[in-house]
C-alpha cells in the first residue's frame, strides 16, 4: 500500500483557494492603483539571489537562520529572497548613470523566511515594496507617509485605525554619544536592547544596558522621555535636530500636506529600531491601532549607502514593505476586508438538448460584453440548475427555451432579486450590465 500524498502545503506556506485569492487580489489591486497614482513604476527581480547579496547589510538573524539556502549545479550558494530591498538596490546600481532621478519603483514579490509560523507570520508572504531613489530631501520621507496613508485610506481604513512611528538612527546615535557616551560602533547593540524594551520587564532592559557597559539611566533618558517633541529640544542641539529628516517630517510636513492626509497619526518614537543594518537614518513602522492586532503592518527606512555597495556612485534610497498577512489581518480586525467575489455574473440554461447551440451563441454574446458567463456541462432539470446557480451566487440565470427563442427572446431571471422577465436577445447584455452596475454602486 502506498501512502497517499498529503494535501496540505509545506509548513508555513498557504494555498490561496479562490475565495482567499479574490480577497488578496482586490486588496492589492487597490494598492497598485494608489502607488501608480504617485508615478511609481512596477519592476520585478529573480526569486533566487546569491547569498552574498544579503550577507553584507541585511539582518544577521535573517541571513544566518531564516533563509532557504541551496546550492545550484554550478556550486553557487543561492538564497530564496527573504526581502526585496537588496534586489532593487542591485537593479538600481546596474542602471546607475542611465536612470533619471529620482526613480520611483514598486514591486509585489513573494518573500521567504524560514521561521516558525505564528499569528501574522508565515514562511512565504507577498509584500508590496515601494522605493524612491536619488534624493536626500526629507520630502522623500513625506512622500512615503503620504503613499502609506493613501494606501490605507483606499482600503477603507480611518485615520484612527493605524499610526506611523518614525525614528532616526543617525539622530539617536548622535544622541547616545552626546548623552550617554555610547560610541557609534556600539549604538546598534544598544538599539537591539531598546527594540526589546516593550516586551521585557524594565529591570531586564537596565541589566542588558549595564552589561554593554553603559549607564542605564543615561541611555534611558534618551529613549524613555515623555514626548520627544517637547523633550528632545532640551537635551539635543538645534543643529542636530535640524539635520534629521525624520524629525523634520514629523515637525514640519503636516503644514503643507494634502488636506486628506493631515489627520494621519505620525509620531516621533525613538524606540523604533528595526532589524536591517542597512538603514542609515530614518526608520518607520505602520502599526495597527487595535489592541487585538498589535503588529506592524508596514515597515521601512532610508538606506543611503546600499546602492554604493555595488561599486557605483552613492545613490540614496528610501522605501517600505507591506505584507499581505498582517495587512489582511488588519482589514479583518477592523471589519473592512473585501468580500470574496467568486461567482460568475450569469449562467445560460437550456431546457432541452435541442437548445444547446442557442445557449452557446447567447453565452458568447454575454462574454463579449464582459459578463462572466457559464453554461452547464450537462442538461439538468431546470429546478436543479437554478438551485446550483443560486448556491454558487450567480446573479442571473438566462433560460433559453423554445417558446421564447422562437420570438428571439429568453427569460432573464435575477437570482438575487428573484424576479423574471422576457428580454430580447439583442438587449440582453445591456440589460444585465445595467443591473450589475446598479448593484456595484449600492451594495
Q: Which residues bind RNA (CB under 7 A)?
A: 3-4, 8, 11-12, 59, 61-62, 66, 83, 113, 115-123, 125, 127, 192, 195-196, 199-200, 274-276, 285, 295-300, 321-327, 351, 381-384, 386-388, 390-391, 399, 401-404, 411, 413-416, 418, 420
Cβ proximity to RNA, 243 vs 296, nearer residue: 296
The DSSP bridge pattern shows strands 162-168 and 124-133 to be unpaired
Partner residues linked to 419 by β-bridges: 414
* 411, three cell numbers: 427569460
- Taking the C-alpha atoms of residue 48 and residue 148, their distance in angstroms, rounded to an integer, is 28
Shortest separation between residue 124's beta carbon and RNA, angstroms? 8
Shortest separation between residue 180's beta carbon and RNA, angstroms? 21
Residues in the chain: 443
Chain-centre distance for alpha carbon 230: 33
Cβ proximity to RNA, 24 vs 232, nearer residue: 24
Shortest separation between residue 131's beta carbon and RNA, angstroms? 12
Identify the DSSP state of 197.
Answer: G
**Quick check: 216 and 210 in contact, CB under 8 A?**
yes
Cβ proximity to RNA, 232 vs 276, nearer residue: 276
Shortest separation between residue 406's beta carbon and RNA, angstroms? 9
Shortest separation between residue 424's beta carbon and RNA, angstroms? 14
Reading phi first (left if > 0) and then psi (alpha if -120 to 50, else beta), residue 285 is in: beta
Shortest separation between residue 73's beta carbon and RNA, angstroms? 26
Cβ proximity to RNA, 66 vs 137, nearer residue: 66
- Taking the C-alpha atoms of residue 405 and residue 425, their distance in angstroms, rounded to an integer, is 9
Q: HSE, CB side, 13 Å, CA atoms: give it for residue 23.
A: 16
- Taking the C-alpha atoms of residue 279 and residue 384, their distance in angstroms, rounded to an integer, is 61
Beta strands in 315-384 (DSSP E): 317-323, 346-350, 373-374
- Taking the C-alpha atoms of residue 8 and residue 377, their distance in angstroms, rounded to an integer, is 30
Give percent helix, percent strand, percent coil of the chain, each to the nearest 5.
45, 20, 35
List Cβ neighbours of 49 (8 Å cut-off, separation of 6 or more). 78, 79, 81, 86, 87, 90
Cβ proximity to RNA, 95 vs 332, nearer residue: 332
Cβ proximity to RNA, 122 vs 247, nearer residue: 122
Shortest separation between residue 12's beta carbon and RNA, angstroms? 6
Cβ proximity to RNA, 242 vs 339, nearer residue: 339
**Quick check: 132 and 209 in contact, CB under 8 A?**
no
Cβ proximity to RNA, 73 vs 116, nearer residue: 116
Cβ proximity to RNA, 130 vs 174, nearer residue: 130
Shortest separation between residue 377's beta carbon and RNA, angstroms? 13
- Taking the C-alpha atoms of residue 209 and residue 385, their distance in angstroms, rounded to an integer, is 71
**Quick check: 225 and 231 in contact, CB under 8 A?**
yes
Shortest separation between residue 149's beta carbon and RNA, angstroms? 16
Q: How far is CA 379 from CA 153, 361, 364, in A?
A: 47, 16, 18
Shortest separation between residue 208's beta carbon and RNA, angstroms? 11
Cβ proximity to RNA, 121 vs 177, nearer residue: 121
**Quick check: 246 and 171 in contact, CB under 8 A?**
yes
- Taking the C-alpha atoms of residue 421 and residue 405, their distance in angstroms, rounded to an integer, is 14
Shortest separation between residue 236's beta carbon and RNA, angstroms? 25
Cβ proximity to RNA, 304 vs 404, nearer residue: 404
Chain-centre distance for alpha carbon 60: 24
Amino acid at each position: 500500500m502506498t501512502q497517499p500524498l498529503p494535501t496540505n502545503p509545506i509548513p508555513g506556506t498557504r494555498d490561496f483557494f479562490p475565495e482567499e485569492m479574490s480577497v488578496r487580489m482586490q486588496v492589492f489591486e487597490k494598492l497598485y492603483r494608489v502607488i501608480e497614482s504617485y508615478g511609481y513604476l512596477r519592476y520585478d527581480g529573480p526569486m533566487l539571489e546569491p547569498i552574498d547579496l544579503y550577507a553584507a547589510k541585511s539582518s544577521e538573524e535573517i541571513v544566518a537562520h531564516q533563509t532557504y539556502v541551496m546550492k545550484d549545479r554550478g556550486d553557487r550558494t543561492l538564497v530564496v529572497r527573504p526581502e526585496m530591498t537588496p534586489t532593487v538596490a542591485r537593479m538600481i546600481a546596474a542602471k546607475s548613470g542611465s536612470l533619471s532621478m529620482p526613480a520611483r519603483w514598486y514591486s509585489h514579490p513573494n518573500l521567504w523566511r524560514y521561521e516558525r509560523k505564528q499569528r501574522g507570520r508565515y514562511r512565504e508572504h507577498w509584500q508590496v515594496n515601494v522605493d524612491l531613489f536619488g534624493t536626500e530631501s526629507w520630502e522623500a520621507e513625506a512622500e512615503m507617509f503620504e503613499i502609506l496613508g493613501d494606501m490605507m485610506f483606499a482600503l477603507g481604513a480611518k485615520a484612527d485605525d493605524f499610526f506611523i512611528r518614525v525614528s532616526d538612527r543617525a539622530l539617536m546615535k548622535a544622541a547616545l554619544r552626546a548623552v550617554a557616551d555610547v560610541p557609534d560602533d556600539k549604538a546598534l547593540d544598544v538599539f537591539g536592547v531598546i527594540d526589546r524594551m516593550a516586551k521585557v520587564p524594565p529591570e531586564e532592559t537596565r541589566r542588558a544596558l549595564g552589561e554593554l557597559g553603559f549607564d542605564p539611566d543615561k541611555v534611558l533618558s534618551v529613549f524613555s522621555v515623555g514626548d520627544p517633541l517637547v523633550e528632545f529640544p532640551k537635551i539635543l542641539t538645534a543643529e542636530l535636530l535640524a539635520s534629521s529628516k525624520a524629525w523634520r517630517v514629523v515637525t514640519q510636513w503636516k503644514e503643507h500636506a494634502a488636506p486628506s492626509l493631515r489627520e494621519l497619526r505620525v509620531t516621533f518614537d525613538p524606540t523604533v529600531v528595526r532589524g536591517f543594518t542597512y538603514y542609515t537614518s530614518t526608520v518607520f513602522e505602520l502599526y495597527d491601532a487595535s489592541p487585538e492586532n498589535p503588529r506592524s503592518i508596514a515597515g521601512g527606512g532610508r538606506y543611503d549607502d546600499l546602492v554604493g555597495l555595488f561599486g557605483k556612485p552613492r545613490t540614496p534610497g528610501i522605501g517600505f514593505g507591506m505584507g499581505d498577512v498582517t495587512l489582511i489581518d488588519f482589514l479583518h480586525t477592523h471589519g473592512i476586508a473585501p468580500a470574496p467575489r467568486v461567482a460568475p455574473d450569469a449562467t445560460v440554461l437550456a431546457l432541452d438538448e435541442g437548445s444547446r447551440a442557442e445557449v452557446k451563441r447567447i453565452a458568447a454574446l454575454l462574454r463579449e460584453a464582459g459578463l462572466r458567463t457559464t453554461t452547464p456541462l450537462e442538461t439538468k432539470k431546470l429546478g436543479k440548475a437554478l438551485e446550483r446557480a443560486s448556491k454558487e451566487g450567480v446573479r442571473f440565470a438566462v433560460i433559453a427555451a423554445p417558446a421564447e427563442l422562437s420570438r428571439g427572446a429568453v427569460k432573464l431571471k435575477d437570482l438575487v432579486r428573484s424576479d423574471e422577465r422576457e428580454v430580447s436577445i439583442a438587449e440582453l447584455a445591456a440589460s444585465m450590465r445595467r443591473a450589475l452596475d446598479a448593484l456595484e454602486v449600492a451594495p
